[in-house]
Amino acid sequence: MLLTLRRRLALSTTALAVVAGVVPAATAHAAPAAPAPVVRATETAPDMEGVLAALQKTLTAGAPGAMARVSGPGGVQTESLGVRDKVTGEAMDPQARFRIGSVTKTFSAVVLLQLVSDGRVNLDAPVVQYLPGLLPDERITVRHLLTHRSGLSDYTNAMFANTVPGFESVRNRVFSYQELVDLSLAEPRTGQPGVAYQYSNTNFAVVGMLIEKITGRPVATEYERRIIKPLRLRNTFYVHPGTQIPGLHVRGYLHEDQSGLPQVDSTEQTASWAQSAGAMISTTADLSTFVSGLTRGLLLRPAMLEEMLTMTPVNTANTRFYGLGVRRYDLSCGTSIYGHTGTVQGFYTYAFSTRDGKRTLTAMANTSNRGSANTALGETLESAFCGKPPVPAAGTRSASPTAPAAPELPQRDEY
């Protein structure tokens, strides 16, 4: 199939709306934290050739299409390659909507932290204080959920042990939150509460339950009133249990476990297995507005935002960190970026911003169950935030032996 290349450059003129009625901040919690390195100024121009090369690697690794959007003081630049629909051959379109997977977790965390600021939830209170009888261990706190340190097993490990059969068995199914938690509790715990990071969708299924119990409203309503409307995200939706992506959208393609088999069109699904852990739909532009608005303080008061961005390392190289529903990557140029990755059947997503919100990178590819494609897509981060790598002078080494390394990017799917 011939690849279609589209390159667009436009100046960004739309300012983020300031959120009205932001709730008071909660007292900061003293927790072990990994200090952020000095953030490099955003004067360095993004390396769009490098971004394009990363997208090409993503296609080579098996994605039908991929796109990226970089915003900064110089405006907005987009790159796209390949197709958004394999049947029609329509080119990847930077305006098209797609499933954002676990970037949903950051939306859910923002809503819950607004409730913390409002005094309606205590981060260090036991979950069972708000949801009596739900969990067998009273030591699991709200904070443990948001930091993936609850010890609750991820129910998706068994659900998608066989990728395509697992997906087809839940494609049109509608789960209750209780059913998802029960699936987790049927599996052994991964550890004691608060001890070790272990990524688990169960944590954010419980976050969804907390939001609905405390507000008395569906999570869809809370996303809309607390984030989508204040930031004017016109292409961001939570359609669960509906199966359609409304309007212009990208079709997603899921790889089989066995190589050589055709990809499965996974676009239409309830995403009920994910819900508040991964069922939202958006665009690269809306995600840029979201992560920039978050780091600029438009959604949380300063003290609460600092609480959210209190990080602990999750990899051996100390270049990947997790806070309260948000990731931090430390790039090779010394810049720290904040946001989340997303995987849902047929879609990979990266949505990240500098701490001051002045530069963002949002990227997606319409495939999943292909770790090499996920890693290649993540290479857009270095080019977007660090710019072109310096050219070494003649007779000198290409890099200092003490120069920071690029972050370890996902090698497997974390749904």
Closest CA to 363 of 250, 263, 208, 257: 250
User: Burial, 159: exposed, middle or buried (Cβ in 10 Å; 0-12, 13-18, 19+)?
Assistant: middle
Q: Residue 202 is inside which H or E element, if any?
A: helix 201-215
Closest CA to 152 of 226, 97, 209: 209
Structure tokens at 143: 């904070």
Q: Please give the torsion angle defined by the CA atoms of residues 40, 45, 48 and 53, in that order, rounded to the nearest 10 degrees.
A: -50
130 vs 368: CA distance, rounded Å: 36
- Residue 206 CB neighbour total at 10 angstroms: 28
How open is the CA angle 76-82-87, to the nearest 5 degrees?
130
Whether 333 contacts 54, CB under 8 Å: no
Closest CA to 346 of 183, 207, 167: 167
Question: Is 12 among the residues known to form the active site?
Answer: no
87-91: Cβ within 8 A, 24+ apart: 87/251, 89/1, 91/4, 91/6, 91/65
Q: Which of 12, 71, 80, 102 is catalytic?
A: 102
Structure tokens at 184: 């987790």
How open is the CA angle 363-364-366, to the nearest 5 degrees?
165
Active site residues: 102
